[in-house]
Homo-oligomer: A and B are copies of this chain.
């Protein structure tokens, strides 16, 4: 996802930014799992490597999906949060959850999100956006 082709196809355009697995996983962690710090993302059970995480966080920031600000309480670390542009990716994530809840193996341990999304996807999105309503951009 280094070079953006800026295709005139809107599907490909979106994939230029979130067409790799890790970028969407990070956005999921930020928006759904309320992760904020570098080590939070490292703690995801998917196991992203530190160099890849650094690269993806930088891309997501320069592409305007997330903000990166130094934590005032603990200046060693940075707080990562979604921008409006990033929050607007939520419908894509929700659509994936809807699809998965239909096709995931019955025996699989169900995620909380599946029930919530199936129950009321609009409310699900609104509730998450409300958590980040203090975002300026």
Point out residues on A near B: beta carbons under 8 Å: 5-15, 19-21, 24-25, 28, 32, 45-46, 85, 88-89, 91-105, 108-111, 113-114
A5 CB, nearest partner CB in chain B, Å: 8
In the assembly, how many copies of this chain are there?
2
Question: How far apart sit A72 and B14, CA to CA, in the bound complex (Å)?
Answer: 37
A71 CB, nearest partner CB in chain B, Å: 26
Q: Enumerate chain B residues within 8 angstroms of A101, measured Cβ to Cβ.
A: 10
A91 CB, nearest partner CB in chain B, Å: 4
A59 CB, nearest partner CB in chain B, Å: 15
**Known contacts A11-B93, A24-B15; is-contact A6 B99 (Cβ 8 Å):** no
